[in-house]
Amino acid sequence: MKVDVLGINGKAAGKSVDLPDDIFGIEPNDHVLYLAVKQYLAHQRQGTHKSKERGEIAGSTKKIKKQKGTGTARAGSIKSPIFRGGGRIFGPRPRTYKVDLNKKVKRLARKSALSLKAASGGIKVIEDFTFDAPKTKEFKKVLSNLDLEGRTLMVIGDYDKNLLLSSRNLARAGVVVASDLNTYQIMKAKTLIVSESAIGKIAATFGTK
């Protein structure tokens, strides 16, 4: 798949690159996309939720009234869940939300997501660039020149501190290194801006092995 390369001024750079068909041109698998996004969201949960049960409530264990003759229901402890301040019945306990997926499934999910974006015209290839210092204004200018709307994700080949810091304060834009790209990020972004150097890294990381 041939794609024209753009400059940071938003105009064609006069060259094109070939996006590998085994990554950007496969038949998307909807189910593995669902599994990969489910895993990502599940792993964002800490699982540290906890409520106190009746055995953990501070209070007397003395029987609060006699068993019979009161005209009301039996009650053995002030820590009973039916009383205000008592323990909670079936409350949340610490647990893990980990979801296991094998490498081939996760790789297929990322390729499916990239293929969906490519088929819908949601991928733009841009020349490699950097900033001398972190400047959010300059990063916004690049996005404006590319005439992008909605959530944008820029994929770069290698770690670039200045680019990462320049995008950090923007709510609807981000920068990620190609080797760290995941399915959730691809699906959430409306447009992927892929640098020239990132294409080779994507092919090496997510290609057929």
- Is residue 161's pLDDT more than 80? yes
pLDDT tens by residue, 107-126: 999 999 999 999 998 999 99
Kindly state whether residues 10 and 70 are assigned to the same domain: no
- Is residue 33's pLDDT more than 70? yes
Q: Render 166-207 in DSSP notation, one character per residue.
A: HHTT-TTEEEEEGGG--HHHHHH-SEEEEEHHHHHHHHHHHS
- Is residue 172's pLDDT more than 60? yes
**Is 24 inside a domain boundary?**
yes
Q: Domain holding 127: CATH number? A: 3.40.1370.10
Burial level of 95, CB count in 10 A (0-12/13-18/19+)? exposed
Supply the pTM of this predicted model: 0.82
Q: According to the model, what pLDDT value does residue 1 have? A: 80
Q: According to the model, what pLDDT value does residue 209 have? A: 55
**Is 59 inside a domain boundary?**
no
- What average pLDDT does the segment 169-186 reach? 93
Kindly state whether residues 109 and 136 are assigned to the same domain: yes
